[in-house]
Structure 1
Amino acid sequence: MFEHKNQKVLSRPKFHRRVLMYASVAFGMIGVSWIIGALGYRYLTEPHLSWVDSFYNAAMILGGMGPVDILQSDTAKIFASFYALFSGITFLSATSVLFAPFIHRFLHILHVDNADR
């Protein structure tokens, strides 16, 4: 995936492609998680939330703001609990994937500069 410490620093165009690839993966992770949440809120709540409300609740949980609607059934509450934990891990993982190319490039530049001295 990344160049070895003995290799040259990646050119800017190739680095930009790498950033786009990693950003796509990170946003894909968030998107899939958002869909899982919307489906769960739509089908596991009693009475069923509308698609817009399900989408909204999933976005708020995924963004760390918390649920909007009061959940009545135990199934919905259990889903929301696990979805909140899942969302926290997903958000941190997606952030790590998004910043990995930048951190690697920074450390690689530091290593190359240090080796040249």
Structure 2
Amino acid sequence: MYEHRRHAPLSRRRFVWRLLRHFALAALLLAASLGLGMLGYEHYEHLEWHDAFENTCMLLGG
């Protein structure tokens, strides 16, 4: 995925594209974790969506 140290660095355009793809993947992972956590709180603990959101955010935040 990344260039070897013997190869030339990426152009600015390709680097920004790689950075955006990594950001999108991280945002997707975070959104999926938040959604699954909220569903779990709503299903198992019978919480309202705003309480499920708050509890899931606290758990994901550490």
TM-score strictly above 0.5: yes
Secondary structure of 2:36's match? helix
In structure 2, the partner of 1:63 is: 61
Gaps of 5+ in 2: none
Query: Which aligned runs of 4 or more in structure 1 are off by greater than 6 angstroms?
Result: none
In structure 2, the partner of 1:8 is: 8
In structure 2, the partner of 1:73 is: none
| Cα displacement (A) at 1:55 | 1.2
Cα offsets for 1:6-33 (capped at 9, x unmatched)? 2101111110010000011111111111
| Cα displacement (A) at 1:4 | 1.7
Aligned residues: 62
| Cα displacement (A) at 1:44 | 0.4
CA RMSD of aligned residues (A): 0.9
TM-score, with structure 1 as normaliser: 0.51
In structure 2, the partner of 1:49 is: 47
Cα offsets for 1:21-71 (capped at 9, x unmatched)? 0011111111111111100100001xx11011111110111111xxxxxxx
Equivalence map 1:1-117=2 (5 Å): 1-45=1-45, 48-64=46-62
Secondary structure of 1:41's match? helix
Gaps of 5+ in 1: 65-117
Percent of matched pairs sharing the same residue: 40
